[in-house]
Amino acid sequence: MKNKFYQYIQILQDQICKGLEDIDGQAKFRQDLWERPEGGGGRTRVIENGAVIEKGGVNISAVHGALPKAMQTYFNVGEVDFFACGLSLVIHPKNPMVPTVHANWRYFEMYDPSTPPGASDRKVINSWFGGGQDLTPYYLFEEDAKHFHETCKTACDKHSPEFYPKFKKQCDEYFWNAHRDEARGIGGLFFDHCQATEDMTMDNWYDFVTEVGNSFLTAYLPIVERRKDLPYTEANRIWQEIRRGRYVEFNLVHDKGTLFGLKTNGRIESILMSLPPHVQWVYDHHPEAGSQEEKLLNILANPVEWI
């Protein structure tokens, strides 16, 4: 499974980078290959200062070795070996009318450390998939929110009618900026610890996760296409930079993915490529009553059922 999924995310990375370069029309991804001293490494691809994308990263990594102490505590396990691979992306567009998007699809295995790495009979103690995709608008176009969620639902419904409501709710809960008492964005899907059950084999989960991965460009590109050439003002841009500050706060204070990267000695620049290019913090900022900016805040205070 780990080889099959790692193959998949390599191809998906190519497809997503191609789709994003095409819509940008100007900037290209640069690639950095990196190695993790304790085992594994990654292929980081970053795009900056494009016509459409101000900054973005579409990264894959596959890391393995002894599970670090901090992660043992986190997963509540003893000394085990692990393998983890995944694709992680964040796109920060320049135009404040285009939402930021984040997605991640990952696979995790834990092994009994008494069998040596590479042994054909190596015992997998536990394995699971996780991931999702979510949208963070600066100005809310309901049409965009609905399109994004409908694409998510279509992908989910092919596998179970229970998945969209469940993973949509988990997304709203996970991307909650608790100290601000508001959502990071308008959500999407979030799933974790997707393990083999009576209903779902690991192959079934693979099919589901790759279905979601394959839906990403369908979910995001039409929104970019519709909004990338809309006019915007300096005030719109300031609002975008202030909201990006909330994105930074979520990622550095609450995000478990960032934590995982930092605790497993991941490559810092690959982990923190998620941080936006230009950001502002203005003391006690409140948008004008009745403004578009205030409308967004009201939406973020109470997650919406978009479908």
The token pair at 279 is 């950001």
The nearer residue to a copy of itself, 27 or 140, going by C-beta atoms, is 27
Residue 256 neighbours by CB under 8 Å, 6+ apart: none
CB of 41 to a copy of itself, least distance (A): 15
Binding site for a copy of itself (CB under 8 A): 32, 46, 48, 55, 57, 179-180, 241, 245, 248-249, 252-253, 262, 268-269, 272-273, 275-284
Catalytic residues: 102
- Give Rg (Cα) of the chain: 19
Tally of CB atoms within 10 A around 14: 13
User: How many angstroms separate the CA atoms of 162 and 131, rounded?
Assistant: 17
Smallest gap from residue 202 Cβ to a copy of itself (A): 33
| Residue 306, phi then psi, degrees to nearest 5 | -80, -15
User: For residues 5 and 250, which CB has a smaller minimum distance to a copy of itself in the complex?
Assistant: 250
The distance of closest approach from Cβ of residue 48 to a copy of itself in the complex, given in angstroms and rounded to an integer, is 6
Tell me the closest approach of the beta carbon of residue 30 to a copy of itself, in angstroms. 8
CB atoms within 10 A of CB 55: 22
Cβ contacts of 208 within 8 Å, gap of 6 or more: 129, 156, 159, 160, 163, 194, 200
Instruction: Please give the backbone phi and psi of residue 36, each rounded to the nearest 5 degrees, phi first.
Output: -95, 125
